[in-house]
């Protein structure tokens, strides 16, 4: 496991908990829940930049490179789609969609970590 995985773990779980609590409190998506998902996106962007640097420095992946980059690109698309959904549908249920982002990013980061090492 590397630092990128742990960053996604922490930010993803905090975001998920915030969004679930807001949904259970029957609140519509608000700045804290949307920004928590954008924080997950920011961590994924840092992971992207870090991965590009690692490859440029000659580090090799244990698995297939196309699979790693595919996971990373899809993981980066999910928060944007969820935020778009939450902005269009301002109901409490959108918070549960936002909550799924952190867990999904975490699972995908775990798989990316397996591919890398």
Assessment of whether the complete model's pTM goes beyond 0.85: yes
Planar angle of CA 34, 113, 59, nearest 5 degrees: 115
| DSSP-derived 3-state class of residue 1 | coil
- The predicted-structure confidence for 36-78, as pLDDT tens digits, reads as follows 999 999 999 999 999 999 999 999 988 899 999 999 999 999 9
For the cut 70, the answer to whether the pLDDT of residue 1 exceeds it is: no
Distance in angstroms (rounded) separating the CA atoms of residues 1 and 94:
32
How do the domains of the chain map onto residue ranges? 3-116
CB-count exposure of residue 50 (10 Å: 0-12, 13-18, 19+): middle
- In our burial notation (b when 16+ CB lie closer than 10 A, e otherwise), range 61-100 reads beeeeeebbebbeebbebbeebbeebeeeeeeebbebbbe
CA 83 to chain centre: 12
Banded pLDDT at 7 (limits 50, 70, 90): very high
- The predicted-structure confidence for 81-98, as pLDDT tens digits, reads as follows 999 999 999 998 999 999
- What is the predicted pLDDT for the residue at 69? 95
């Amino acid at each position: 496991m590397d630092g990128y995985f742990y960053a996604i773990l922490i930010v993803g779980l905090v975001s998920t908990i915030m969004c679930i609590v807001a949904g259970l409190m029957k609140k519509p998506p608000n700045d804290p829940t949307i920004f928590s998902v954008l924080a997950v996106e920011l961590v994924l962007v840092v992971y992207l930049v870090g991965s590009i640097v690692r490859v440029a420095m000659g580090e090799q992946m244990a698995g297939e490179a196309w699979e790693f980059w595919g996971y990373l690109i899809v993981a980066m698309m999910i928060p944007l789609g969820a935020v778009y959904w939450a902005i269009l549908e301002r109901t409490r249920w959108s918070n549960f969609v936002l909550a799924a982002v952190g867990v999904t990013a975490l699972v995908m980061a775990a798989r990316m970590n397996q591919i890398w090492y």
